[in-house]
Chains A and B, each alone.
Chain A
Amino acid sequence: MSGIVSYGYYVPRYRIKTETIAAQWGKCDDKIEKSLKVHEKAVAGLDEDVATMSYAASTMAFGDIKETKQSIGAVFIGSETFPYAVKPVSTSIAEWLDIPHGYLALDTQFACKAATGALIAAHGLVASKQIDHALICAADRANAKPNDALEYAAGSGANAWVLGNENVLAEIEGWSSYSSDTPDFWRRSKQDYPSHAGRFSGEPGYFQHLLSASNNLLTKLNRTAENYTYAAFHMPNGAFPLKAAKSLGFTVDQLKASYIVPQLGNSYAASALMGLVGTLEVAQPGETIFFCSYGSGAGADAISFKVTKEILKRRRVFAETLQQKTYIDYATYLRFMGMI
């Protein structure tokens, strides 16, 4: 069965605290933290972008399966902060990784679910045996207009996923997608910062799509939340995934391993999948993971995973590495993000 053969991630070491941003704008940090449930976020450094972070994550993914590079038939990367408006990043990453040139390359955008659509498409190619392996990267170096509500969570990070049919560590049992023309968040070309419609991105956006995709998948697989060991959802802030999980019948315990937003913020396209990285660190063979991303605009991709014994060979240390961090002040944050 097609699924995840290997994976990797990259989280920049720099962090800025919610209280640091709040103090800059004369806001009550305790109220913002209580409302958003985000304590700090990861910030890409001056020399880190979607391409470099994806490369670092991919390098980890290929760490002990370097020979797989020879049979990669697709390299997809999803992001909303590509360094180029026109020029693929997928080809750069493939080149740096020494992947032979007979691959299909795609850069995809769909706000925070830019990569999970690519992952489902790649799964189709792999499961149908049109290609042997696929590499999917999810990365963002998300910024927000200073003093915008988004500023407290918009973070940086990347992860990479190798899909295949053999030696699979997490089988893809099924998926369901839900999409509509719901403009809750957008960034027009040549604009530096995204715009959003405030609370509109909540009920009509995140919850309508994520809950619909999730419920559709549960129905499709004839399961309920109780049938899963873990759950991972897109994390635009700390409050939304908790509410979504509760609404679907998942417990805090099921969500715990994936719930990394209070420490890392929202790495946009990498956010939900970073939750999957957190879950795979603790998942045992035979356990199941319910996953659902959300992308503004809007859509959600729900995927059901079943973990195999292969996880014991390629489990990545995650939580511990997140402790390697350096706090920065607001001026440094602005400089790193190219805002001054």
Chain B
Amino acid sequence: MKNNVIGYYSTKFGELWERSLDDLLREALHGVLAETQLEAAQIDAIFLGNMLGGIVERSLLLSAHISEILGTNIPVYRVESACASGGMAFQMANDYLKANSGKTVIVIGAEKMTDVSPGEITEALSAAASPEEQDAGLTFPGVYALMAQYYLAKYGYTEEHLASIAVKNHDHGALNEKAHFQRAIDLNQVLGSQYVAFPLKVLDSSPISDGAAAVIMTNVDTLINNHKSVQVLAAETATDTISLSKRENLDELKATRIAGDKAFQTAGIARSDVQVMEVHDCFSIAEIFALEDLGFWTKGQGGKLAKEMSTHINSGNNLIVNTSGGLKAAGHPVGGTGIKQIGEVYLQLTGQANKRQVNNVKHGLTHNVGGSGGVAVVSILGV
């Protein structure tokens, strides 16, 4: 039997000042067990995606925290891959299940980010950046801003083309009761917001969020048959240089392209078979790169299609992107994002996405990026 996701639970994403990292882990772990009506004793292993626990929370060995929370002594593997920590945990859990039959695992992603100042969290996130470029003053917004400048100049687009991504994702976030921002914004608000790094503005950028999300994945036939199940058709990853100066092209994330191609090859489906996607829109330009590098849009066409809002839930088109609100509106607790993406696609494929449900969904894709393209994880799920 293939690996299947059989349940999903997410905390609310946002500035959860009264919740610690352990509180978030606790809610997501117990939440996903309750959702699937499973006992902790039925879980064989846990994969945790978390980036900043050691830096921000001064908290390592989270495996033992999870053991304490669940009262179990099973293996817990913590995976760190910057903002792709969640996606990478899922990819590793998928490989674990492929190598071990009759097993059930929890894959959880969690991050606590709002207990420290914006300066401190920016510095912590920069631990995943190129040391040389960081020394030269480049933050992650700066890296994406340089790529955005290059893209706009090369293909003749404007900041409005970028802003459309944020508007669309806020429209979707307004339909997601767990999203950090549940309100619509318009183009003028995005274009009028303060610059973070030209041409990217505050409203082109995903927020600093707290949150945790968990899925249960299994290859046990009875569990698959007794739950609303979604098959994992592929979970593939690729790496690339983190230094912008070493990249072959400034208008693509090579890791996304390689991981995407591998995922479609493994899944054995065509891009036209995918109806919903959760892609890594840490900045508006990143969603355009994602659609192009995953092979859904021709390179250079992304700006135009973004402005047309061709992937909006109300577009009537066959491919809807970031129904959760994406990183921009749903929030970006970095380790949690990759699992929220899997969970959102799971909800869509099982008809549980409520107000943001897309009709007749058979296949969904998730795309999680770490360190401005140093790593990418692409997963494909289907029913």
A→B interface (CB under 8 Å) = 27-28, 31, 197-200, 204
Which residue of chain B lies nearest to A200 when distances are taken between CB atoms in the complex?
B17
Interface string of B235-264 (1 = CB under 8 A from A): 000000000000000000000000000000
Q: Are B117 and A198 in contact (CB under 8 A)?
A: yes
Q: Which residues of A contact B15 (CB under 8 A)?
A: 199-200
Q: How far is the CA of A198 from the CA of B115 in the complex (A)?
A: 10
- 7 smallest CB-CB distances across A and B, nearest first, come from A200-B17, A204-B17, A199-B15, A28-B194, A31-B194, A198-B118, A198-B117
List B residues 93-120 near A (Cβ within 8 Å).
114, 117-118
Q: Which residues of B contact A27 (CB under 8 A)?
A: 194
Number of interface residues of B (CB under 8 A): 8
Asked if B18 is at the interface (CB within 8 A of a chain A CB), the reply is yes
B126 to chain A, nearest CB (A): 19
Main secondary structure of the interface of A (DSSP, over half): helix
Q: Which residues of B contact A204 (CB under 8 A)?
A: 17-18
Q: Which residues of A contact B114 (CB under 8 A)?
A: 200
Q: Which residues of B contact A199 (CB under 8 A)?
A: 15
B→A interface (CB under 8 Å) = 15, 17-18, 114, 117-118, 192, 194
Query: Could you name 13 residue pairs across A and B whose Cβ atoms are closer than 8 Å?
Result: A27-B194, A28-B194, A31-B192, A31-B194, A197-B117, A198-B117, A198-B118, A199-B15, A200-B15, A200-B17, A200-B114, A204-B17, A204-B18
Q: How far is the CA of A28 from the CA of B15 in the complex (A)?
A: 25
Q: How far is the CA of A199 from the CA of B15 in the complex (A)?
A: 9
Q: How far is the CA of A27 from the CA of B195 in the complex (A)?
A: 10
Which residue of chain A lies nearest to B117 when distances are taken between CB atoms in the complex?
A198
Q: How far is the CA of A197 from the CA of B17 in the complex (A)?
A: 10
Q: How far is the CA of A78 from the CA of B17 in the complex (A)?
A: 30
Q: How far is the CA of A198 from the CA of B114 in the complex (A)?
A: 10
Q: Which residues of B contact A198 (CB under 8 A)?
A: 117-118
Which residue of chain A lies nearest to B118 when distances are taken between CB atoms in the complex?
A198
A201 to chain B, nearest CB (A): 11
Which residue of chain A lies nearest to B18 when distances are taken between CB atoms in the complex?
A204
A219 to chain B, nearest CB (A): 25
Q: How far is the CA of A197 from the CA of B118 in the complex (A)?
A: 10
Q: Which residues of B contact A31 (CB under 8 A)?
A: 192, 194
Q: Which residues of A contact B118 (CB under 8 A)?
A: 198
B290 to chain A, nearest CB (A): 29
Q: Which residues of B contact A28 (CB under 8 A)?
A: 194
Q: How far is the CA of A204 from the CA of B19 in the complex (A)?
A: 13
B203 to chain A, nearest CB (A): 12
B204 to chain A, nearest CB (A): 16
A336 to chain B, nearest CB (A): 28
Q: How far is the CA of A27 from the CA of B117 in the complex (A)?
A: 20
A186 to chain B, nearest CB (A): 13
B200 to chain A, nearest CB (A): 16
A289 to chain B, nearest CB (A): 33
Q: How far is the CA of A68 from the CA of B194 in the complex (A)?
A: 55
B210 to chain A, nearest CB (A): 12
Q: How far is the CA of A197 from the CA of B117 in the complex (A)?
A: 7
Q: Which residues of A contact B194 (CB under 8 A)?
A: 27-28, 31
Q: How far is the CA of A204 from the CA of B114 in the complex (A)?
A: 13
B191 to chain A, nearest CB (A): 13
B298 to chain A, nearest CB (A): 37
Q: Which residues of A contact B192 (CB under 8 A)?
A: 31
Q: How far is the CA of A31 from the CA of B194 in the complex (A)?
A: 9
B182 to chain A, nearest CB (A): 16
Which residue of chain A lies nearest to B193 when distances are taken between CB atoms in the complex?
A31
Q: Which residues of A contact B17 (CB under 8 A)?
A: 200, 204
Which residue of chain B lies nearest to A205 when distances are taken between CB atoms in the complex?
B17
